[in-house]
């Protein structure tokens, strides 16, 4: 996942490329910081490409966020189903342990009775 710093670097490179593509003689590299500081100095034509890139990026990030949210919802549903399943298994384990103790007690009693009968 890109950090805020990485996002600035990516956008800085895109903006520099787009501004140069509009005006080949423009030698200075345009960064996001430059755009923010000199917003009033740039023409609408120079700002159009970066705006399109930003809109596309926002759309892509929104789509990715929605996809991740859906995945998270699905994982939470699976987690709830697994939690229910674990609860059932724990109940069954408790019953089996109780039955096992009862069988051991009966076996002990039978063993004691058969020992007395000799």
pLDDT tens string 6-58: 555 666 666 665 555 555 445 456 677 877 787 778 778 877 878 888 899 99
Taking the model in full, what pTM does it have?
0.51
The yes-or-no verdict on residue 118 having pLDDT over 70 is no
Sketch the domain layout of the chain as residue ranges: 4-116
Question: pLDDT tens for residues 92-111?
Answer: 999 999 999 999 999 999 98
Chain centroid to Cα 62, Å, comes to 14
3-state helix, strand, coil in the chain (%, to 5): 85, 0, 15
């Amino acid at each position: 996942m890109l950090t805020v710093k990485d996002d600035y670097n990516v956008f800085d490179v895109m903006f520099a490329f787009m501004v140069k593509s509009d005006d080949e003689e423009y030698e200075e590299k345009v960064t996001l910081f430059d755009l923010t500081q000199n917003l009033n100095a740039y023409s609408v034509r120079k700002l159009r490409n970066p705006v399109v890139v930003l809109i596309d990026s926002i759309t892509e990030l929104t789509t990715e966020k929605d996809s991740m949210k859906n995945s998270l919802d699905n994982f939470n549903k699976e987690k709830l189903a697994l939690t229910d399943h674990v609860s059932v298994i724990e109940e069954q384990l408790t019953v089996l342990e109780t039955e096992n103790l009862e069988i051991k007690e009966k076996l002990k009693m039978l063993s004691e009775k058969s020992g007395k009968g000799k």
